[in-house]
Amino acid sequence: MEQVNQVQLRDMRRLSDPELADELKTAKEELFNVRFQLATRQLKNYRQMPAARRRIARALTVMQERTASERGANG
């Protein structure tokens, strides 16, 4: 079974804003590729779909936490 290299939430919190944006872009591209493989019946590991969605959710969560903390600090 192929081991998917996932960035955990604690690791994402250590990333800078540009790195986090890059991680989000990469995760969205991965989800697109997984969906494409599913549609063409080339996908062998069906667990890649929820894993890709979780990566996107983790990145969005960290981004949301940062904007909320900035709003709290500024106002």
pTM beyond cutoff 0.75: yes
- 22's tokens: 């890059």
Q: Are 30 and 55 spatial neighbours (Cβ–Cβ below 8 Å)? A: yes
Domain limits of the chain?
A: 16-74
Question: First vs last Cα of the chain: how many Å apart?
Answer: 49
CA distance 29 to 36: 11
Q: What is the pLDDT of residue 23?
A: 93
- For 16-74, which CATH class? mainly alpha
- What pLDDT does 7 receive? 56
C-alpha dist (Å) from residue 68 to 1, 11, 30, 63, 73:
39, 19, 27, 9, 9
Reported as a single tens digit per residue, the pLDDT across 2-59 is: 334 445 888 889 999 999 999 999 999 999 999 999 999 999 999 999 999 999 999 9
